[in-house]
Amino acid sequence: KNEVEQSPQNLTAQEGEFITINCSYSVGISALHWLQQHPGGGIVSLFMLSSGKKKHGRLIATINIQEKHSSLHITASHPRDSAVYICARRGGSQGNLIFGKGTKLSVKP
Amino acid sequence: DGGITQSPKYLFRKEGQNVTLSCEQNLNHDAMYWYRQDPGQGLRLIYYSQIVNDFQKGDIAEGYSVSREKKESFPLTVTSAQKNPTAFYLCASARGLQETQYFGPGTRLLVL
The answer to whether A63 contacts chain B (CB < 8 Å) is no
Residue A30 pLDDT exceeds 80:
no
pLDDT of residue A40: 82
The answer to whether A41 contacts chain B (CB < 8 Å) is yes
Residue A95 pLDDT exceeds 70:
no
Residue B16 pLDDT exceeds 60:
yes
Is B105 exposed, middle or buried, given 0-12, 13-18 or 19+ CB atoms closer than 10 A? middle
The answer to whether B84 contacts chain A (CB < 8 Å) is no
Residue A92 pLDDT exceeds 70:
no
Residue B55 CA: distances (Å) to CA of B23, B25, B46, B58, B75: 15, 16, 11, 10, 12
- Encode pLDDT of B41-60 as tens digits: 889 999 999 999 999 999 99
Q: Which residue of chain B is at minimal alpha-carbon distance from A34?
A: B100
CA-to-CA distance for B44 and B58, rounded, in angstroms?
8
pLDDT of residue B99: 84
A–B interface: beta-carbon pairs under 8 A = 63
Identify all chain B residues contacting A40, using CB atoms and an 8 Å cutoff. 105
- Encode pLDDT of A43-63 as tens digits: 999 999 989 999 999 999 999
Residue A1 pLDDT exceeds 60:
no
- pLDDT, mean over chain A: 91
Using CB atoms, pick whichever of B50, B58, B105 lies closest to residue A41. Answer: B105
pLDDT of residue A37: 94
Q: Which residue of chain A is at minimal alpha-carbon distance from B105?
A: A42
Does A45 sit within 8 Å of B43, measured CB to CB? no
Residue B45 · residue B37 · CB < 8 Å:
no
Residue A37 · residue A83 · CB < 8 Å:
yes
